[in-house]
Amino acid sequence: MAIMYREHLTFARELQEILIADLILIVAFDLTLVGGLANLRTGFDVFLYFLPISAVGVTLSFVLHEMMHKFVAQKFGAIAAFMMSQMGAVITIITAMLGFLIGIPGATVIYTNTFTKREEGIVSLAGPLTNFVVFAIFFIAGLALFPNFMSSIGNTFNYFTRNSYVENVINFTLFISILLAFFNMLPIYPLDGSKILRWNKPLYAGMIALIFVIFASIIGIGPLLIDMVFWLIIALVFSLFYRGIGL
């Protein structure tokens, strides 16, 4: 989410931009899974296998996150709309082609200068909370449908020892939803975490602790620490990009 002052978008334009951004992220996540463009030829079957899975996970995690920012902002009387960033979309595509991902194709922009610290914090909280809800729904579904669900999550990204297709859809969506929550909760402006932290420090600390526990249970402590450093770097890049260029 970003607070900016721009000409109001029409609904048709907003819908077009969020669908394009969603498509870019879907392909980018999938391309990253096969190791980038260099491995696409030999890993094309993996790319095709994960494409629908990526579509479900990214759409539910990314689009719902951004739309909840919009709806809650509107509840507080602001004008809000999703805007795609052309430069951010290019960065997303290029990094995915190289085998890693800086996914910044756009964000919800808020047109207001009247938000209190509390209102800004609540609007910012709406996105990560949506990711928690998506995670909870799919986690419950996984537990209900698959006896060895918890031990199978790590196999999702291994094409050759894959789980059932439905199980991989659930696992991938779990991972993407909590990953986006973690990234957006980093206390770096303009990410949601910086505004939530400024509004309510105990709430921020509780959400970060919960994310760490979830991530550690899914991928383990060691990989979690490595991922934290990686995503901190990406968040800093995003912050510099936002400050210097804007959406």
Q: Is the pLDDT of residue 245 over 60?
A: no
pLDDT class for 19, splitting at 50, 70, 90? very high
Statement: residue 7 has pLDDT above 60: no
How is residue 138 written in tokens? 């799919």
> 106 pairs with which residues across the strands?
84
Position 220 scores a pLDDT of 65
Task: Output the six-digit token pair for 182.
Answer: 């973690």
Q: Give the C-alpha separation, 107 to 95, whole Å.
A: 18
Task: Answer yes or no: is pLDDT of 120 > 50.
Answer: yes
Determine the pLDDT at residue 26. 97
Q: What is the mean pLDDT of residues 123-150?
A: 92
Confidence of residue 100 (pLDDT cuts 50, 70, 90): confident
* Whole-prediction pTM: 0.85
Residue 53 scores a pLDDT above 50:
yes
The more confident residue out of 123 and 5 is 123
Position 4 scores a pLDDT of 43
For the purposes of burial, counting CB atoms within 10 Å of the CB of 168, is it exposed (0-12), middle (13-18) or buried (19 or more)?
A: buried
